[in-house]
Structure 1
Amino acid sequence: MATLTVWKFDAPEGAAAVENTLRDMQKQELIKIVDAAVVSWPEGASKPKTRQMNNLAGVGALSGTFWGMLFGLIFFMPLLGAAIGAAAGALGGKMADVGIDDDFIDSVKSKVTPGTSALFLLSQDAVVDRVRSAFPPEHTELISTNLSAEKETRLREVFEEN
């Protein structure tokens, strides 16, 4: 079973700073990283910067399409206007089908704001307490949702690159 976790950091560079920590944890077999992406939102910026962490992604990593659509739903939809409202509704439905519901989206949207960053991590076999203890505790918050094997398969089907 895969777990999609979102780790929020209290500084725009916080999420990027834990890349080496994740690499080390993967070497110690404390986590199997399937895919990861970073969102950095500098203070004063109108929108966050996003980046897929391909150098950490494992076999079976999701496409950039998944991350782009997820980040679009979370951070950019108000900027896009009503013209694509129907498409957004359909996309939201697909995300809900794979276990990423409105509560998850709203929670991330309300917590990842200017002056913060977030690490979006799709992993397997993680020892979450060890991951949590490896990150700076006073500046890190965990938001997570678990994906069943069935929902993980559905996620890959929905966002598979052609």
Structure 2
Amino acid sequence: MAELVVVGFDCLTDADGVLTELTRLQKEYLIDLEDAVVAIRGQDGSVRIKQSVNLVSLGAAGGGLRGAMWGSLIGLLFLNPLAGFAIGGAVGAGSGALSGSMLDYGINDDFIRSIGDTLKPETSALFLLIRKSQPEKILAELSGFKGHVIRSSLSPEQEAKLQAALARAHPPSPSDGVEAAGAAVASLPGTG
């Protein structure tokens, strides 16, 4: 079961920075994210939401491939597979993009907007749906980002440990290492 964690940051760019680092760590198999979303509240109070998965382009690509395949097969029946491929691909891409724009994958958009509306101007939040993770290694890598837990589905003990690590975050210095962040966390989703 995936765990939801929403972390707020006092800087506009920190949520993006953490997501970039988590994407890198996902390639190293240290975390498995089901979904990630960044919400940024501008100085004017408007909330901008950045999805990590673009469902419109994903739907268009998948629909285009399925449409092209079926179009080619139908085109073979009428002795014109190239026309069937082109027409089927175009129809499939259009219907896939439409269905992708109507999907709500992962974290609920209404939930994201409701939390985004509570952010202070010129702050950001990172919404994570985590399948599993290696918490000690992740927090050690993210020790330069200071934030606070807004919401989570973690156990009270796990949430308290995460909050403590985020509150103590500081840019790493050569003499310091990352023991403070690693020692602050015993377990996060998927480790226990």
The CA deviation at 1:147 is 7.0
The answer to whether the 8 Å contact 2:2/2:131 transfers is yes
- Give 2:123's aligned residue: 116
The CA deviation at 1:64 is 5.2
Structure 2 spans left out of the alignment, 5+ residues: 55-102, 156-192
Q: Root-mean-square deviation (CA), in Å?
A: 2.7
- Give 1:71's aligned residue: 112
Which TM-score applies when normalising by structure 1? Answer: 0.55
Alignment CA distance shift 1:117-1:69 (3 Å): same
- Give 1:40's aligned residue: 40
The CA deviation at 1:8 is 1.7
- Give 2:165's aligned residue: none
* Fraction of identical pairs, as percent: 29
Larger mean Cα displacement after TM superposition, 131-140 or 24-33:
131-140
Which structure would you say has the larger RCO, counting Cα contacts within 8 Å and 6 or more residues apart? Answer: 1
Higher-Rg structure is: 2
- Pick one of 125, 129, 142 that aligns with 1:135: 142
- Give 1:28's aligned residue: 28
Task: Tell me, in whole angstroms, the C-alpha distance in 2 between the residues paired with 1:34 and 1:65.
Answer: 7
Task: Tell me, in whole angstroms, the C-alpha distance in 1 between the residues paired with 2:145 and 2:152.
Answer: 22
Alignment CA distance shift 1:136-1:71 (3 Å): same
Task: Tell me, in whole angstroms, the C-alpha distance in 2 between the residues paired with 1:15 and 1:142.
Answer: 12
SS at match of 2:29: coil
> How does 1:53-72 map onto structure 2 within 5 Å?
53-54=52-53, 63=104, 66-72=107-113
Residue type at the aligned position of 1:26:
Q
- Give 1:145's aligned residue: 152
SS at match of 1:40: strand
Larger mean Cα displacement after TM superposition, 134-143 or 7-16:
134-143
Alignment CA distance shift 1:31-1:139 (3 Å): same
Structure 1 spans left out of the alignment, 5+ residues: 56-61, 77-108, 149-162
Residue type at the aligned position of 2:32:
K
Runs of 4+ in 1 over 3 A off after TM superposition: 64-67
Task: Tell me, in whole angstroms, the C-alpha distance in 2 between the residues paired with 1:136 and 1:124.
Answer: 21
The CA deviation at 1:136 is 4.3
The answer to whether the 8 Å contact 1:6/1:118 transfers is yes
Q: Paired residues, what number?
A: 107
The CA deviation at 1:65 is 8.5
